[in-house]
Structure 1
Amino acid sequence: MELELDLASAPHVPLDHYWSRVVGAGRANEGLRADWQGHLASAHRLGGFDYVRFHGLFHGDMFVYREIDGVVAPSFHYIDLLFDAILATGMRPFVEFGFSPPELARETATVFWWGANGAPPTDYAKWAALVRATVEHWVGRYGIDEVRAWYFEVWNEPNLSPFFRGTRSEYFELYRVTVEAVKSVDAELRVGGPATSNFVPDARFDGETEDTTQHETVLTASTLDSLDWQPVWLEEFLQFCVENRLPVDFVSCHPYPTDWALDGHGNGHKLTRGVEATPTDLRRVREIVETGPYPDAEIHLTEWSSSSSSRDFTHDYPQAAAFVVRSVLASIGLVDSLAYWTFTDVFEEEGGGRDPFHGGFGMLSQDGIPKPTMHAYRMLHALGDRLVHREEGLVVTRRGTDIAALAVHYPHEVALSVPASFDTRAVADRTLATGEPHAMRLRIAGLIPGTRYSIEVVDAENGWAMAEWTRRGRSRNPSIADVAAIRASAERGHLTEYFVSGDGVLRVDARLQPWAIALLTSSRTIVA
C-alpha cells in the first residue's frame, strides 16, 4: 500500500459517519442492568454512536401490557427506566416495536432463550392501542421535539418464522396498523420497515460448494459472480405501502454476509459470501429505494455483523475488526446507517456466554473489555468530516488542518467475508494465520511542519484481549486481577510516532500484519 498525496490539490468531500448512527443490543430488559448501561456509555464515548436498537420492548419481562375492563392500559415504569438511561448517556432509542406481549401473542416463547413471542398479536386493534399509548407517553415524558428525532421500526425479521409466526400479508397488515397508530400521535414521527433478513439469490442455489466441516457452505468465486442477491420482501413491501397510501419514512433490512434463507420462512442454508457482499447489497438497496415509490426514504440497515451467530468465535478475533473496517470504508455514501449487532456481550439470545470470550456479537466482552471490533469503531469515529482520499483498504480524511487516515490489511488470500467459526476456534485460528505482512508507505504533503502524528495498530499481537486471556490460561471464571490485566492489555494497540518535516510532508513507513487495522492521527485528535 503506497500513497503520495498533496492536500492542496486533493478533493475535500463531506464524509458522513453513517457507521456510527445506530448500534444494536439484545433485548430491552438487559438494558436495565448496570453493566449494560456502563457498556453503552463506553460504546458511545469510544464509537460515537447516536442510537441504540434492541428487541423485546413489549416482552413480558418489561411488564408493559395491562388491561382495565378490556381497555388497554399499559404500565411504562421499566421502559421509563431504560429510556431515561439511554438518553442520559447521550444516545437515543431506535425503537423496534416487537415482539408481542404475552397477553396478545398468538403463540408464546417461539424464539430465544428468553422466550420472545414471535407470533403476531391476536388483536390488531389492541396492538394499535398499545403502540399509540406508548408513543403518547414518550411525547408527554420527553417532549415532541425529542421524540421526532427517534425512529420507529415495525418488528424484527418477519420473514423468518421464529421471529414472526405469520404470513407476509399479516406482517404488511401489522405495518399498516402500526404506522397509522404512530402517525395518529404526530405525523412527523419517522416509521419504517420491513426489517427483513436476509439477502437471497434470485434463483435457487445449485452451484459448486466446498464443505468447511463447520455446518457452513463456501461459495466459489465463479458461483458468486453468477448470483443476483436481493433483499427479502423490500420491493413487495414498498408496493403494498404505495397501493395502500401508507407512509414509509425509512426502509430497513439486515445484510449479514453469512445467512441465506432460501424460502423466506426460516428454511435456510449456512454459507459465507464474497468479501464484497456488504457494499454490493447496500448498493442494491439504494437502487431499489431511489427507483421506487419512496425515493426520499432513508435507508437503515438495522443489523449487521460478520455473521449472524452469537456463538461465532471469529467475533472475538482481529478478523472481525478487519471485516468491519474494510466493509464500512467500501460502503461510504450508500446508506444512512449500518448498525453493528451488537455493542455488548451482555446478550442472552442463547443465554449467558460460557466463557469471557465465547464468540458473542459484542464489541465489548461481558466484562466490558474492548474486542478488536470496538477498536475498529473507535478508529472509524476518529476520522474527520471531509474525505480526501479513498482506495481499497485505505481512507484519508481531514478535520480542520489535521488529517486522519485508516488502513486495513484484509489478506488477498481470503476472497470471502470472514468465515465463521462455530463449535471450536479452529476456523478462526486458521483464518488468523492466513496471509503475509505488507508495507504501508504514505507521503502526505501540505501539513503544518512539526506536527506530531502517531499510528496505532491493532492486530494479533497488539490490543487483542484474547491474547492475554490465553496467556493466563483461558479461565472461564477469571479473577479480578485477571480481568484487570486483560483489560489493560486491550485498551489500545501499538503506537509509533511521526513528525511532519520542515517542508510540510508527513512520511510514514509501517508494516501491517494480516488482519491489522491502523489509525493515523495527530496528537490533537481525541480517539478514546
Structure 2
Amino acid sequence: MTTPITISADRQDPGRPFTHFWSTCVGAGRAAEGLRASWQEHLRTVADAAGFRYVRFHGLLHDDMFVHRRNEDGPTVLNFQYVDDLFDRLLDAGVRPFVELGFSPRDLARDPSTTFWWKANVAPPADLDAWADLVRRLVGHWLARYGRDEVRRWYFEVWNEPNLSPFFKGSKSEYFALYEITARTLKDVDAELRVGGPATSNFVPDARFAGEYEDTSQHAVVSEAADLDALDWRPVWVEDFLAFCHSRRLPVDFVSCHPYPTDWALDGHGTTRQHTRAADATTRDLRTLRRIVDTGPYPDAEIHLTEWNSSPSSRDHSHDHLQAATFVARTVLESIGLVDSLAYWVFTDVFEEEGAGDTAFHGGFGMLTLQGVPKPVFHVYRMLHRLGGELLARTEGAVVTRDSSDGSLSALAYHYPPEVIQAPPGSFGSREVAEQTLATGEPRLLKVELTGLRPGAAVAVTTMDHTHGNALAAWRGMGAPEPLTREQTAALREAAHATGHEVRHADDAGRFLVEEAIAPWAVLLFAEL
C-alpha cells in the first residue's frame, strides 16, 4: 500500500472556525428551467441534504422569462411574473438567488448573436441607459416584493464569462462600461446591495494571456509548452477589472470567476490541447486569486467562484463516476480558508445548454440525473455538510471537525490515488477514459483516532465507493436499461441513495479507532451520534 492516511484528534483540542464555503452557492442552467417541477424537487433535495444557501443560473432576462418587451408603437412592457414565480419558490425552499444580471433581452441586444441551444442573447445592450432602467425597475420591484432586508442578502453578478466571445459579443472595455453602469445603478437603488464581477472563465497560463485573447497564436505557443502545470496560471481579466474599478471609484463587493481545472473553454478558444490540469490546480488557483484580492485595491471584497467542476463540458462522462466526487472532496479540503464560495456547476441534469441529454447517464454536470437519481458527487456534498463548524485536525486525505453546538466529532477521509496526477480527465464520446481512470490506484491504509468521546459512544460510518452510492454501477447492475421505466427509475433512485452505513462504538475509555484499507476513489464519513 501507499503511505497511510493518518489523522487523530481529541474532543478537547483547540479548534478554529470551519466555514462551509463549498455549500454557500450551487449552480443551475437557466432561469426558465427553474419553473419545472423536477428542477424544484431537485433543488429542495440538494438544499436539504447539502445545505446550499444560494443558487446561480443564466438567462434571468432571457425572452422565455418575458421580462422585457419593446412594442413598435407603444411603451416598453416589463413583466416580472415569471421571475416572481421562480424567486418565490427559491425562497420557499430556503435558498436565495445569486443573481446573474445577463444575458440581454432580445429587444435590448445590440445584434442578434446567440449561444446555447436555447439561444441566449449574448450581444451587450445597445443602449446602456435602457439597460440601467431595466435593472433599476427590476431591483426596485424585488425590494417592494421581498423587503429591503431580504434583497440586501442577495448577490448581484454582472454578466457571465464576458471574456469568451460566445458569451459576450463585445470587448473588455465594453464589459467594464457595462459593469460600471450596472454597479452604479444598483447602489443608487440601495447602497447596501452587493455587486461584483467580472465572472470570467478559467485561469490561463502566464499573465500575458489574461487579457483580450486577441492573439491566439501566442496562446498556441504556451499550449505547446512541455509542462503546462509548471506555468503561472492567472485569472482572466481580474487584475485589470480591479484596477479599472478603482480608477473609476466603483464598488466591488465581491470578485468572481470560474476556476475550471483545464486549459480549454466551451468554445475551444485559442489553440489548446484540452489539457486537464493537475489535481491540485483549483487549490493553487484559489491561492493566486486570494493573493490578488488581498494585495489589490479591494482587500475586503469577498471571493466567489460562481462556477466550478472537473471540466466545463456537460457531455463529460467522468461526471457520472466516483472520481468526480472524490475530486470535490479533495479540492474542498485542500482549499479551506481561501474563498467565500466554490459553486459546483450544477445541481441537476435538468440542464439544456446543449439540449437535452440523450440518456440518463450522459455525462451531465448535475448531482442528480434528470430522473432525480443521485450521482456520487451528491453523496460527497451530503457528507461534507455533516462536518462541524470547528476544524480540529487536517492532513492529506482527511479532516476532523467538532460541532460548535453539541461538541460531537466528525471526520471525513478520501482516497484520491496518487497515480492520477490530474483532475479527472475528460471522457467524451464514450466512458472509456472515465473507466480507465476509475480502475487506477491501489487500496490505502486509513488510520483515524478520535478520543475524548463518551464511553461506548456510537459513531455512524458512511461509505461511498464502487458498490455504495454509485448510481452508474447500480444502473449497470439492472442491465443498463434505456429508457428507464417508472419502476426502474424508483428502484434506481433507492439503490443510488444507498451509501454504506454502519454504526460502530468507542471503547470504554471514549476512544474510537479505525485501521483499515480504503479503496481508490472511496470517501468515508465518521460522525459521532
* TM-score, normalised relative to structure 2: 0.94
| Counterpart residue type for residue 424 of structure 2 | V
**1:165 is matched with which residue: 164, 169, 173?**
169
Q: Secondary structure at the residue paired with 1:260?
A: coil
Shift of 1:106: 1.9
Q: Determine the structure 1 residue equivalent to 2:282.
A: 278
2:40 paired with 1:34? no
Q: Secondary structure at the residue paired with 2:269?
A: coil
2:100 paired with 1:107? no
Q: Secondary structure at the residue paired with 1:301?
A: strand
Q: Determine the structure 1 residue equivalent to 2:334.
A: 330
Q: Determine the structure 2 residue equivalent to 1:212.
A: none
Query: Closer, same or farther in 2 for the Cα pair 1:355/1:261, shift >3 Å?
Result: closer
| Counterpart residue type for residue 57 of structure 2 | F
Shift of 1:480: 1.0
- Residues 5 and 398 of structure 2 are in contact (CA less than 8 Å); yes or no, is this contact kept in structure 1? no
Q: Determine the structure 2 residue equivalent to 1:74.
A: 78
- Residues 245 and 251 of structure 2 are in contact (CA less than 8 Å); yes or no, is this contact kept in structure 1? yes
2:485 paired with 1:479? yes
Structure 1 unaligned blocks of 5 or more: 210-218, 524-528
2:270 paired with 1:267? yes
Q: Secondary structure at the residue paired with 2:120?
A: coil
2:449 paired with 1:443? yes
| Counterpart residue type for residue 203 of structure 2 | F
Q: Determine the structure 2 residue equivalent to 1:362.
A: 366
2:23 paired with 1:17? no
Q: How does 1:216-235 map to 2 (within 5 A)?
A: 222-225=227-230, 227-235=231-239
- Residues 42 and 368 of structure 2 are in contact (CA less than 8 Å); yes or no, is this contact kept in structure 1? yes
Q: Which segment is superposed worse, 457-466 or 247-256?
A: 457-466
Q: Determine the structure 2 residue equivalent to 1:424.
A: 430
Shift of 1:57: 0.5
Structure 2 unaligned blocks of 5 or more: 209-218
**1:45 is matched with which residue: 39, 45, 48?**
48
Q: What does the per-residue CA deviation read over 1:424-479, in whole Å, with 9 as the maximum and x for residues that have no partner?
A: 00000000000011121212211111111122111111111111211223233111
Q: Secondary structure at the residue paired with 1:413?
A: coil
Q: Determine the structure 2 residue equivalent to 1:129.
A: 133
Q: Determine the structure 1 residue equivalent to 2:348.
A: 344
Q: Secondary structure at the residue paired with 2:516?
A: strand
Shift of 1:67: 4.0
2:523 paired with 1:517? yes
Distance 1:476 1:469 in 2: 10
Shift of 1:266: 3.1
| Counterpart residue type for residue 507 of structure 1 | L
Distance 1:433 1:2 in 2: 20
Distance 2:111 2:25 in 1: 30
Q: Determine the structure 2 residue equivalent to 1:140.
A: 144
- Residues 260 and 310 of structure 2 are in contact (CA less than 8 Å); yes or no, is this contact kept in structure 1? yes
Distance 1:379 1:309 in 2: 25
- Residues 24 and 302 of structure 1 are in contact (CA less than 8 Å); yes or no, is this contact kept in structure 2? yes
Shift of 1:205: 6.0
Q: Which segment is superposed worse, 168-177 or 264-273?
A: 264-273
Q: What does the per-residue CA deviation read over 1:164-191, in whole Å, with 9 as the maximum and x for residues that have no partner?
A: 0110000000001111111111000000
Q: Secondary structure at the residue paired with 2:275?
A: strand
**1:371 is matched with which residue: 366, 370, 375?**
375
Shift of 1:261: 5.6
Distance 1:4 1:169 in 2: 50
2:399 paired with 1:395? yes
Query: Closer, same or farther in 2 for the Cα pair 1:265/1:5, shift >3 Å?
Result: closer
Q: Which segment is superposed worse, 185-194 or 10-19?
A: 10-19
Q: Determine the structure 2 residue equivalent to 1:216.
A: none
2:132 paired with 1:156? no
- Residues 162 and 266 of structure 1 are in contact (CA less than 8 Å); yes or no, is this contact kept in structure 2? no
Query: Closer, same or farther in 2 for the Cα pair 1:173/1:20, shift >3 Å?
Result: same
- Residues 11 and 389 of structure 1 are in contact (CA less than 8 Å); yes or no, is this contact kept in structure 2? no
Distance 1:286 1:94 in 2: 21
| Counterpart residue type for residue 68 of structure 2 | Y
Query: Closer, same or farther in 2 for the Cα pair 1:273/1:61, shift >3 Å?
Result: same
Shift of 1:496: 3.1
Shift of 1:497: 2.5
Shift of 1:249: 0.5
Deviant stretches of 4+, over 6 Å: none
- Residues 259 and 307 of structure 1 are in contact (CA less than 8 Å); yes or no, is this contact kept in structure 2? no
Q: What does the per-residue CA deviation read over 1:300-334, in whole Å, with 9 as the maximum and x for residues that have no partner?
A: 00000010000000000000000000000000000
Shift of 1:149: 0.2
Q: Which segment is superposed worse, 505-514 or 235-244?
A: 505-514
Q: Which segment is superposed worse, 306-315 or 67-76?
A: 67-76
Shift of 1:208: 8.7
* TM-score, normalised relative to structure 1: 0.94
Q: How does 1:452-463 map to 2 (within 5 A)?
A: 452-463=458-469
- Residues 199 and 260 of structure 1 are in contact (CA less than 8 Å); yes or no, is this contact kept in structure 2? no
- Residues 353 and 360 of structure 1 are in contact (CA less than 8 Å); yes or no, is this contact kept in structure 2? yes
Query: Closer, same or farther in 2 for the Cα pair 1:189/1:131, shift >3 Å?
Result: same
| Counterpart residue type for residue 446 of structure 1 | G
Shift of 1:109: 5.0
Q: Percent identity?
A: 55
Distance 1:291 1:161 in 2: 30
Q: How does 1:489-500 map to 2 (within 5 A)?
A: 489-500=495-506
- Residues 108 and 115 of structure 1 are in contact (CA less than 8 Å); yes or no, is this contact kept in structure 2? no
Q: Secondary structure at the residue paired with 1:253?
A: strand
Distance 2:75 2:137 in 1: 11
Distance 1:4 1:515 in 2: 18
Shift of 1:254: 0.1
Q: What does the per-residue CA deviation read over 1:282-303, in whole Å, with 9 as the maximum and x for residues that have no partner?
A: 0111101010001100000000
Q: Secondary structure at the residue paired with 2:125?
A: coil
Q: Secondary structure at the residue paired with 1:272?
A: coil
Distance 2:45 2:517 in 1: 30
2:311 paired with 1:297? no
Distance 2:53 2:40 in 1: 15
> What is the alpha-carbon root mean square deviation over aligned residues?
1.8
Q: Determine the structure 2 residue equivalent to 1:92.
A: 96
- Residues 113 and 121 of structure 2 are in contact (CA less than 8 Å); yes or no, is this contact kept in structure 1? yes
Q: Secondary structure at the residue paired with 2:239?
A: helix
Shift of 1:110: 1.9
Q: Secondary structure at the residue paired with 1:420?
A: coil
Query: Closer, same or farther in 2 for the Cα pair 1:240/1:4, shift >3 Å?
Result: closer
| Counterpart residue type for residue 39 of structure 1 | H
Distance 2:163 2:177 in 1: 14
**1:83 is matched with which residue: 74, 82, 87?**
87
- Residues 113 and 169 of structure 2 are in contact (CA less than 8 Å); yes or no, is this contact kept in structure 1? no
Q: Determine the structure 2 residue equivalent to 1:215.
A: none
Q: Secondary structure at the residue paired with 1:332?
A: coil
- Residues 7 and 393 of structure 2 are in contact (CA less than 8 Å); yes or no, is this contact kept in structure 1? no
| Counterpart residue type for residue 24 of structure 1 | G
Distance 1:119 1:236 in 2: 22
Distance 1:466 1:479 in 2: 16
Query: Closer, same or farther in 2 for the Cα pair 1:21/1:176, shift >3 Å?
Result: same
Shift of 1:260: 3.3
Distance 2:362 2:336 in 1: 31
Query: Closer, same or farther in 2 for the Cα pair 1:461/1:265, shift >3 Å?
Result: closer
